[in-house]
Structure 1
Amino acid sequence: MQRRTFLAGLGAVAFSGAVWQEAALASTRAGASPYGPLGAPDGNGVALPSGFSSRVVARSGRLVGGTLWHPAPDGGACFADGSGWIYVSNSEIPLAGGASAIKFRADGSIERAYRILSGTNLNCAGGRTPWNTWLSCEEIFRGKVYETDPYGNRGPQQRPAMGKFKHEAAACDPDRRVVYLTEDESDGCFYRFVPAVWGDLSSGRLDVLCSTASGGVEWRPVPDATPGVFQTQTRHQVSAARHFDGGEGCHYSGGVCYFTAKGDRKVWAFDAARMTLSHVYDGGGSLDGVDNITGVASGDLYVAEDGGNMEINIITPDGVVAPVLRLDGQSQSEITGPAFSPDGTRLYFSSQRGTSGERAGTGGITYEVTGPFRH
């Protein structure tokens, strides 16, 4: 497969935040990865730059830390835990989806693993909160959001006020005290949930991003966030709502919520301070199957591919996009759940179907890559 190391078709972009500045975006150009070229695949089938290494931490259906690791691992996040940390992962299978967690010691060894959510449906990208809970999102018709405890001390809670629709990802904006939500439909919407009390997601208002007569965007309330089966669904209740083809991952940083749409093949950027919507990548040929997305304080974005040639690509603040890793021999899978350890030196992610390519996700593999990441 061809390696792709260029950024094409960058749209007109307006950003706030310390690193993504208009001047930097104006100089967007083709370029190589800041980590250097990828080498040959290692023993785990992972092609990495020099100075990086990989290990497999879990396989679907096999024991890890005393617990069977779930099939079809999807969205994930890391949480600090004393001198160690926890990696949480969703399971995108029907009826028995849910989420699991792996607890790591300070030296990176695995202490234990455990379930934090069970009996839910097609739990997809999800998102973490500033108060250290994990939002596990159901990607089904009238799907729900479950707030879970990555530390395993409290039971999960349904959050119906956040809407019943085909949920994909969630990203918290602590500056405006809202949660952004994506919807995986061919005409899906981009939402924000405004809690009645920040830190408590049990009640609040669901808004949908809409177009204005002047060509801008604005938020409007969704009249019924929990419609019945035969009632008008959330994405069709407000006629001015903006629609996106297959909403996927989202990540908030520095006043901007970045979210992907696989059908649009775009990485969108909603500037919450300026109330503008634009994109940092428009599907011009560099990334295939844009899916889960994360980022670090330096301003780098990391976008995982659903299919394509199974890469995680970096988009730097100066506009370079390039692969930072590639999985070999897994063309029937997708990369999911990219998340950095609290110290930024380890990147966790999964191949949802692994080398088997089985839709049930029984061949899922969860990896750790260690190296000199920019953070």
Structure 2
Amino acid sequence: MERRNFLRASVLGASTVAFSGSLWRGTAFAAPAQNATGPYGPLQAADANGIQLPAGFTSQVIARSGQAVPGTSYTWHNAPDGGACFADGSGWIYVSNSEINPNGGASALRFNSSGTVTSAYRILSGTRTNCAGGKTPWNTWLSCEEVDRGFVYETYPFGGTAVQRPAMGRFKHEAAAADPVRQVVYLTEDETNGRFYRFIPTTWGDLSSGTLQVLVAGSATSGSFTWANVPDPDGSPTATRSQVSGSKSFNGGEGCHYADDTVWFTTKGDNRVWQVNLANSTYELAYDDSLVSPGTPPLTGVDNVTGSTYGDLYVAEDGGNMEICLITPDDKISPFLRITGQGSSEITGPAFNPAGNRLYFSSQRGTSGSSSGGITYCVTGPFRT
């Protein structure tokens, strides 16, 4: 396996990308990640919310599907999925998709500086199966439809009418990640033979027009890659994933996260986390459950992913044993939390608040196993920064 530098994750500010501390960890490590004790120690017994956490961390229920968000009159949506946080003065906003069809869309929760919800509201309505998405540097949320020839919708957590962005391609969208250095947006596709794309806007900050490209590479799990234009981003009559000879197939593209010349994305079909090294146009595995030793792979059903200011990756499970697992910069993997008693659900939407001391996420179907049983949580504690 190639050697690589795992770069420190970036902190997305209110309107720009700011870097926290040194950009380089300074040491090359081997990938993919292997089992190890986590940086926060072992999981403790489940708390009152049924969540096992390391010592020093606490959980809180923020909202429940079908119920008014505490402190507001807004009814939280069903099947909460992908999410992100946005700085809002001394507080922040957490946005969350609704993975139902029809009438999916997305909602937002506004928090004050103490982490109390001050308002809740809709930012997207009338769409289908809004699964994951991504935050832009200009403080919009890209909500992605996980349906055949689905759209990306640009939404406005701070106010404004959502806009459909067909130039970003019509396919079974999953997640998006903005790269302000190359001024592109990366996109995953949730198909067993999905592709990994990037969209190059004609003007950075305006997603109304641009060029959709697909990653071209061999069949190996590491190597070099190039980009090729997708001739027909509309995907009809030929699906976008079938238009470019030599484009690389990925088994069920899911979450996507960018930081410091690197983009990571997950594939649920083969329980992998892929690392794309943009500075030298190479790719490799950051995690593969079939290559973990010693012991049992901790991460299965890989799904949404986010990063901390320290450079740790947090990967949520759809399946497995309802964990969020942590991959450290030195390629060690361990469970960070586990939700008990919700085996018919999945963990979605992990995102840190701007200070990096609160992690938001949802159990999409909660204890009921139904989309109407979703629960959105916050974990607070001594996250390393």
TM norm structure 2: 0.90
2:302 equivalent among 275, 279, 290: 290
CA drift at 1:259: 0.1
Report how far residue 16 of structure 1 moved: 6.2
Residue deviations 1:127-151, cap 9 Å, x none?
Answer: 0000100000000000000000011
Among 103, 108, 111, the residue aligned to 1:104 = 111
Query: What is the deviation of 1:325?
Result: 0.7
Pairing of 1:168-317 with structure 2 (within 5 A): 168-211=174-217, 216-228=224-236, 231-284=237-290, 285-317=297-329
Offset, 1:77: 0.3
Deviation at 1:36, TM superposition (A): 1.0
Residue 15 (structure 2) aligns with: none
1:240-269 CA deviation, whole Å, 9 max, x = no partner? Answer: 110001000000011010000001210000
Runs of 5+ unmatched residues, structure 1: 1-10
Question: Retained in 2: the 8 A contact 1:13–1:22?
Answer: no
Change (3 A) 1:87 1:220: same
Q: 1:33 to 1:157 in 2, by over 3 A?
A: same
2:380 corresponds to which of 334, 357, 370: 370
Q: 2:57 aligns with which of 52, 67, 75?
A: 52
Alignment correspondent of 1:80: 87
The question of whether the paired residues in 1 share the 8 Å contact of 2:57 and 2:382 is answered with: yes
Deviation at 1:199, TM superposition (A): 0.5
Q: Distance in 1 between matches of 2:282 and 2:178?
A: 18
Q: Distance in 1 between matches of 2:176 and 2:214?
A: 14
The CA distance in 2 between the partners of 1:349 and 1:135, in whole Å, is 17
Q: What is the deviation of 1:275?
A: 0.4
Aligned residue number for residue 321 of structure 1: 333
Does residue 24 (structure 1) correspond to residue 36 (structure 2)? The answer is no
Count, aligned residues: 360
Residues 167 and 235 (structure 1), Cα distance of their counterparts in 2 relative to 1, 3 Å cut: same
2:6–2:28 Cα contact (<8 Å) kept? no
Query: Which residue of structure 2 lines up, in the alignment, with residue 36 of structure 1?
Result: 41
Percent sequence identity over aligned pairs: 60
Q: Write out per-residue CA displacement over residues 331-370 of structure 1, whole angstroms, 9 at most, x where no aligned residue.
A: 1100000000110110000000001112xx1000000000
SS at match of 2:335: strand
CA distance in 2, matches of 1:48, 1:118: 35
* Matching residue of 1:7: none
Backbone CA RMSD of aligned residues: 1.7
Residue aligning to 1:131 = 138
Q: Which of 345, 350, 367 is the matching residue for 1:355?
A: 367
- Between the aligned partners of 2:213 and 2:250, the Cα distance in structure 1 is 16
Supply the distance in 1 between the matched residues of 2:382 and 2:4 (Cα, whole angstroms): 30
Moved over 6 A (4+): none
